Amino acid sequence: MDGQFLPVLVLLLGASGLCGQGLGPRGPLEEPPEEKPPEEKPPEEEPPEEDGVLVLSRQTLGQALQEHPALLVEFYAPWCGHCRALAPEYSKAAALLAAESARVTLAKVDGPAEPELAEEFAVLQYFGLKAQEAPTLRFINIETTKKYAPEHGAPVTAATITDFCRTVLGGGVKPYHLSQEVPPDWDQRPVKTLVGKNFEQVAFDETKNVFIKFYAPWCAHCKEMAPAWEELAEKYRDHEDVIIAELDATANELEAFPVHGFPTLKYFPAGPGRKVIDYKGARDLETFSKFLDSGGELPAEEPAEVPGAAFPVGVCPQAPGLGPVLSRVAVGGHGQGWAEGVAPSWVSVILARKSQETPRNPRTRSQETPRSPGTSCSCPPSAPTQELCLGP
């Protein structure tokens, strides 16, 4: 089980543990219900082959992950022109890798026939790919969250697919970090807009005290604190040595500052060096102001994180994706989606690498806990419905 899922599981078990202690629906005197023996799961099917490529479904994905140390998966649509053009190259790549006994096995998933799997992987937004960039490759190791990209403009052929896989697995490709373009008006509002490309310049300006909110557009807690953040920026807008800024951490990646929950607040004080202070206090104008006025120190009477909590109260954890079971390679595509016979928004190739634990099939929407938009958080870039909100 991926460690990033543990907070969710612990919270669920903790909630069920309240029953029988005067806090649950049964009360302290009621006998617990008799546990039913677990149902036996039917054995998973062996995936069939087509032109040397495994054909996967929800029923066969888990079995394939257990049998193959590295699995390269293409999500496609039969009507998609890019998919049809890639098909012979993909088969050639499968033959090349098989001939050299490589540890990568090629597979594919018919997206329209397996909509739950296609939606689960949500490759286009996961990698920040744009339709006009297609076809291209992306690789991510979920264990480290590092992404890799081939040389810009390289054609997607059997040779480039196999070479890219070999090079990434061999450690010969430097990590690739997503970044939006710097907005022309990034510094015109009280809250400055940072992206990956201007972060270093602003955050480590030795003449400025920079307070940055790392957020996700979908996060309910980020939206809840947004008014206080705007008020803070307005209050200090005439202080030449203070910058209040925000960065969309779902669209911009910083190698030195991985973000594990939203919102994350960091303070970069003026002066030499690269000093960083994590803010863990209350999210209101008064406490923010005290923090800034004290030079980045939280007053002793202010609450910090809840002791023992996996995440601070009111924080949405970063997307777990599919855990260490999978690492991913994506080939960008075109179109709008799978629905109603329209060409897919991407053609993806995902590199799935086994962990030491038993792989599991990805969860689907039908297995998720229902959530309302106002009280919970979905979680791009992985899959918009994979994350539970751990806040109150």
Annotation says 80 is catalytic: yes
Annotation says 222 is catalytic: yes
> Can you tell me the distance from the alpha carbon of 289 to that of 299, in angstroms, rounded to the nearest whole number?
11
The residues that bridge with 193 in the sheet, in sequence order, are 246
H-only helix segments in the chain:
6-17, 58-67, 81-99, 115-121, 123-127, 158-169, 199-203, 220-235, 285-293
Within 10 A of 35 (CB to CB), how many other CB atoms are there?
Answer: 6
Bridge-based pairing of strands 264-268 and 53-55 is unpaired
Catalytic residue among 165, 219, 377, 389: 219
Is 330:348 a contact under the CB 8 Å cutoff?
Answer: yes
Annotation says 389 is catalytic: no
Catalytic residue among 19, 165, 222, 389: 222
Is 350:328 a contact under the CB 8 Å cutoff?
Answer: yes
Number of helices and strands in the chain (H, E): 9, 15
Minimal CA–CA distance to 335: which of 320, 321, 346? 346
- Phi, psi dihedrals of residue 163, rounded to the nearest 5°: -65, -40
Annotation says 19 is catalytic: no
> Which residues carry out catalysis?
80, 83, 219, 222
